[in-house]
Amino acid sequence: MKKITVVTGHYGTGKTNLSVNIAMNIKAQGKPVCVIDLDIVNPYFRTADFKKLFEENNIKLVAPEYANSNLDIPALSFDLEQLAMSDNYLVIDVGGDDAGATALGRYSQALEKFRDDIEMIYVINAYRYLTPTPDDALELMYEIENASHMKHTAIVNNSNLGSETTPETIENSFEFAEEISLKAELPILFNACREDLAEFIEDKNLMPIKVYVKPFWER
């Protein structure tokens, strides 16, 4: 695990839930961790929603000034470079498209000096209707890179259908992810799946995750 993990992806790919899992996993290893909510576009399903969970687990949260209010506007007032120089491992949850990645681009020069310590992952969901083909997903990935002035280092396959996800749902997404990996010339960091399904899936590159982000009808 590198010191800075930048999480990008389209809306609905599950990147925020993944970001929470990554932070919780780092903390479970006894390391200090700080979650940075850079999603200044989407007011729903964002890491700032998990302030209480982070406080209970001694995880620091940094979010836009007006996160979780009816004044949710792009107001970034923190020093990301200073945070990167601290002892904390950083998990940066970026907005869900190229517009959201513009906020990351604001800090690209500051992060350049930490390039060797950064893992920038692109989260994909084979069942996301806005990116139904590998080429669609790749197009968005490159748009995010252009907006953020940063390059991805790995792919995370987080393909699911919410509560309707089955082991077959996960397994059927592997080909989709592998095609993206091949065309982008990036490794698949892992295939994520709901933790209760992990024992039914034969894959050495599997990462079981907890479901923290749920639609209101499943809460």
What is 4-218's CATH number, 3.40.630.30, 3.40.50.620, 3.40.50.300, 3.40.50.2020? 3.40.50.300
Point out which residues pair with 155 in neighbouring strands: 122, 188
Q: Is 44 exposed, middle or buried (0-12, 13-18, 19+ CB in 10 A)?
A: exposed
Contact 197, 205 (CB under 8 A): no
Contact 131, 138 (CB under 8 A): no
Q: Is 78 exposed, middle or buried (0-12, 13-18, 19+ CB in 10 A)?
A: middle
Q: 74 falls in which pLDDT band (50, 70, 90)?
A: very low
Q: What are phi and psi of 119, to 5 degrees?
A: -110, 115
Q: 139 falls in which pLDDT band (50, 70, 90)?
A: very high
pLDDT tens readout for residues 113-138: 999 999 999 999 999 988 999 999 99
Sign (positive/negative) of CA torsion 17, 180, 162, 68?
positive
Q: For residue 121, which of 8, 2, 3 has the smallest C-alpha distance?
A: 8
Flag whether pLDDT at 44 surpasses 80.
no
Q: How far apart are CA 213 and CA 195, in angstroms?
A: 14
pLDDT given at position 96: 75
Q: Where are the domains of the chain?
A: 4-218
Flag whether pLDDT at 218 surpasses 80.
no
Q: 46 falls in which pLDDT band (50, 70, 90)?
A: low
pTM for the predicted model, two decimal places? 0.91
User: Tokens representing 39?
Assistant: 């999603």
Flag whether pLDDT at 65 surpasses 90.
no
pLDDT tens readout for residues 11-23: 889 999 999 999 9
Q: Looking up tokens 């899992």, which residue turns up?
A: 21
pLDDT tens readout for residues 168-177: 999 999 999 9
Which of 13-17, 93-97, 156-160, 206-210 is least confident? 93-97
pLDDT tens readout for residues 149-199: 999 999 999 999 888 999 999 999 999 999 999 999 999 999 999 999 999
From the CB of residue 218, how many other CB atoms can be counted at a distance below 10 Å? 9
pLDDT given at position 63: 82
The CA angle 20-25-30, to the nearest 5 degrees, is 125
Residue-wise over 107-146: b if at least 16 C-beta within 10 A, else e?
A: beeebeebeeebbbbbbbbbbbeebeebeebbebbeebbe
